[in-house]
Amino acid sequence: MVKKKVKPLKKKSITNVTMAKQKVKPPITLPKDEKKENLKKTSIANVIMADQKVKPPLTLSKDEKEENLKKLSDSSIVVNFVENNKGCWNHQTWLEFCDTLAKECFTPIDFEQVGVLLETQKASYIAAGR
């Protein structure tokens, strides 16, 4: 009887097997020196999109704006803004508030409707006699 030489199986991780089945490219790995430098220049999402040739969305739907407006109205951000400014603010303060919304991931959003939310909350604040 002749014994056949059996090649040892290469160790495969579940991730690699799953990615192979789905025909997904593995994430890009960079040498340690380059990782820090490249992360400063670009986000990981952009690297993945570039690697997999995915185009970012060009236009934002009305639904996204409405979702963000709903998310904002459900949060305490508007109430806090009105109370912190004692129901009175100027254009510069408004612009800073809009910038805060962008930083807090509430954009895209309809800023006219944000103004309506603020004015509604301002009316409640004044009616409460604060």
Domain ranges of the chain: 15-51, 62-127
- Is 43 within 8 Å of 80 (Cβ atoms)? no
Distance from C-alpha of 96 to C-alpha of 98, rounded to nearest angstrom: 5
pLDDT at 62: 77
Predicted pLDDT at 32: 60
Is the sign of the CA dihedral 63, 66, 71, 72 positive or negative? positive
Any idea what DSSP says for residue 60?
Answer: -
Which pLDDT belongs to residue 23? Answer: 59
Global confidence as pTM? 0.52
How high does pLDDT run on average in the chain?
A: 76
Q: Assess contact for 69 and 110: CB atoms under 8 A.
A: yes
What gap in Å lies between CA 124 and CA 117, rounded to an integer?
A: 11
Q: Which residues of the chain have pLDDT under 70?
A: 1-61
